């Protein structure tokens, strides 16, 4: 799934604008071989890893941030383009249950803190409201169908 998401993302972005944060040296080597920036995750928590990656992006001049989950086997380039084309301060791609977040776009780096985990959609919307930002939730099959459980994998 990582390879699929990476390949799709490279259809939208130049590889050197993609940052992969992982503890897997194999995945980091693949990312680097594909022209992306591979960064060894220093912690063991998703929100901290995303913060690490986004700090690297900002240090490289990023003025907006898009995070994508790597467990999106149905992701298409048009899904990413739909997020980018949504005019809002914060764009959240929800999962099929409308409780989770599978992608998050912030038009201003670190406009809201990462709140991935249980009920992350509500948590991200709450952070946007608290920050006085307009947030839009988008639902697209390629972004909504993630793999979180053995049942999801069987369905795939």
pLDDT confidence of residue 63: 97
Is position 152 within any domain?
A: no
Is position 61 within any domain?
A: yes
Q: How many residues does the chain have?
A: 156
d(CA 72, CA 139): 13
Is position 155 within any domain?
A: no
* 15-43 pLDDT tens trace: 999 999 999 999 999 999 999 999 999 98
Position 106 pLDDT exceeds 90: yes
Task: Read off the CATH number of the domain in which 98 is found.
Answer: 3.90.550.10
* 50-71 pLDDT tens trace: 999 999 999 999 999 999 999 9
Is position 154 within any domain?
A: no
At 44, is the pLDDT very low, low, confident or very high (cuts 50, 70, 90)?
confident
pLDDT confidence of residue 43: 85
d(CA 35, CA 69): 19
81-86: average pLDDT: 98
- Strand ranges (E), the chain: 19-22, 37-40, 65-68, 90-94, 101-106, 135-138
pLDDT confidence of residue 48: 96
Whole-number average pLDDT of the chain? 96
Check: pTM over 0.75? Answer yes or no: yes
Neighbours of 39 (CB within 10 A): 18
* 117-147 pLDDT tens trace: 999 999 999 999 999 999 999 999 999 999 9
Is position 79 within any domain?
A: yes
Is position 156 within any domain?
A: no
Is position 73 within any domain?
A: yes
95-104: average pLDDT: 97
pLDDT confidence of residue 90: 98
The count of structural domains within the chain is 1
Tell me the residue range of the domain where 15 lies.
2-147
| Whether 117 contacts 97, CB under 8 Å | no
């Amino acid at each position: 799934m990582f390879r699929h998401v990476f390949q799709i993302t490279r259809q939208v972005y130049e590889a050197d604008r993609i940052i992969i944060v992982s503890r897997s040296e194999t995945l980091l080597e693949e990312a680097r071989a594909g022209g992306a920036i591979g960064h060894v995750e220093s912690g063991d928590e998703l929100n901290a890893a995303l913060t690490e990656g986004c700090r690297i992006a900002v240090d490289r001049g990023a003025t907006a941030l898009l995070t994508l989950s790597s467990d999106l086997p149905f992701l298409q380039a048009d899904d990413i383009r739909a997020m980018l084309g949504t005019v809002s301060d914060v764009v959240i791609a929800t999962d099929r249950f409308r409780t989770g977040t599978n992608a998050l776009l912030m038009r201003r780096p670190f406009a809201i803190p990462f709140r991935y985990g249980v009920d992350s959609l509500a948590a991200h919307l709450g952070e946007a409201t608290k920050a006085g930002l307009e947030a839009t939730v988008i639902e697209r099959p390629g972004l909504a169908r993630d793999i979180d459980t053995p049942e999801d994998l069987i369905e795939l």
